[in-house]
Chains A and B, each alone.
Chain A
């Protein structure tokens, strides 16, 4: 438990417990009206305007379920920030995922993933980006070596 200076810690414990119990009580009645994933993601991302914020903050103040998701995503965002990557990547995929995606793309577009990508039209800009991505990948490999 973290404490705030200058406030009776017994009272903080008491009030925190009150909030937890209140959260649980409300969760029973509000189970069908949670924020959707898009809303939670936008809130965590900070992409909402003031007008959009009022009902969301009011909901989060009362709904422990949504607040738990929001708090977890806030933590994850901070943890994962160090692993941020360039926008375009040359993925190193595991065999399992590659296999799963291959069969998945086959179901999706009636062909293999390679086939889909081979048939995908590329603009000049895309081709340039791809060349750059490959070059970046090579540079990265050089650095690694």
Chain B
């Protein structure tokens, strides 16, 4: 960050600090601590992700999106300020308890979860002679309550896994069952020449299919991969995905719109479930197109063989073999 950008940032942070300090003068948060925390986040989230110099509008947008009051409270709590802790407890504990109960659903002890979270928030670990508070990891980029939900969720997962060491994160959350159903080709046991020949043929088609799928996947933009994965791997409903992007001010929505030139024509259009469905359909059309072209043009398969590839894969949706091949490849 050059000197001018730094001075610009410092002046905006100073205004934010003045507002926060006026609202909560007893939290014991110094201007230096407040400013240092924000500059650290700017370095991590803005400067390190791109070689392009930061513009004043980017800095302003970043600071306007910052949950300054929440960050101010978190910094006070991280430093062990009693008044800040009192405010935090009064404002958020009941919410945290209800969320923990909602989340635990009889599977974990919500009281124990909240107790553990409080201990983690205060911090019992000492690093370089200083107590390490979980609050020090809060950057103010999202709401404090959203951050707390994430902390509590991980605590519930940890507690659950401690009692069910064999259960994966995915199985615990019952979201996707990764590791349960794999789109792989079962390898039949050879039994005679004809079966051996058939197996060789299957292996060839199998290898061709995996290669074509890899090619199709690599043709996707990251946001397309994310949308498809959220929908088809993590089984989020269209309504849940559209929540991410329905708000006109949603950065993810802006991000997707920026990546998709077709939607530039109407940047203010609302995004409903049907819109997400269309996005997914377009992505799938592109995947299917690349997949077919790879098999027919690059690998020289005919239409019948292409059907065999899809048919073989669809008939053998069992076993972790594809994973093995991908990991090996």
Q: What residues make up the interface of A, taking CB atoms closer than 8 Å to B?
A: 1-2, 4-8, 10-25, 28, 36-55, 57-58, 60-62, 64-65, 67-80, 83, 85, 87-94, 96-97, 100-101, 104, 108-109, 116-117, 119-121, 123, 125-126, 133
Contact = CB atoms under 8 A, between A and B. Distances in A.
B100 to A, nearest CB: 9
Contacts of A71: 173, 175-176, 230, 234-236
A89 B97 CA distance: 12
Interface of chain A: mostly helix, strand, loop or mixed: helix
A65 to B, nearest CB: 7
Interface of B: 23, 25-26, 45-46, 49-50, 58, 61-62, 65, 67, 80, 82-83, 85-87, 89-91, 93-95, 97-99, 102-103, 111, 114-115, 118-119, 122, 137-139, 141-143, 146-147, 149-151, 153-154, 169-170, 173, 175-176, 178-179, 181-184, 209-210, 213, 216-217, 222-223, 225-226, 228-240, 243-244, 247, 249-252, 254-255, 258, 277, 280-281, 284-285, 287-288, 291, 310-311, 313-314, 317, 320, 322-323, 326-327
Contact of B226 (A1, A17, A61, A104): A61
A125 B24 CA distance: 9
B251 A46 contact: yes
B104 to A, nearest CB: 12
Given A13-B314, A91-B93, A100-B115, A37 B151 contact: yes
A55 B288 contact: no
Q: Which 5 A-B pairs have the closest CB atoms?
A: A17-B183, A45-B142, A91-B94, A61-B225, A42-B141
Contacts of B247: 46
* Chain B facing A: main interface SS: helix
A7 B281 contact: yes
6 contacts: A15-B217, A19-B233, A22-B217, A52-B49, A74-B244, A96-B111
Given A52-B251, A71-B230, 4 more contacts: A41-B147, A42-B146, A85-B95, A101-B89
B230 A17 contact: no
Contacts of B99: 76, 80
B240 A75 contact: yes
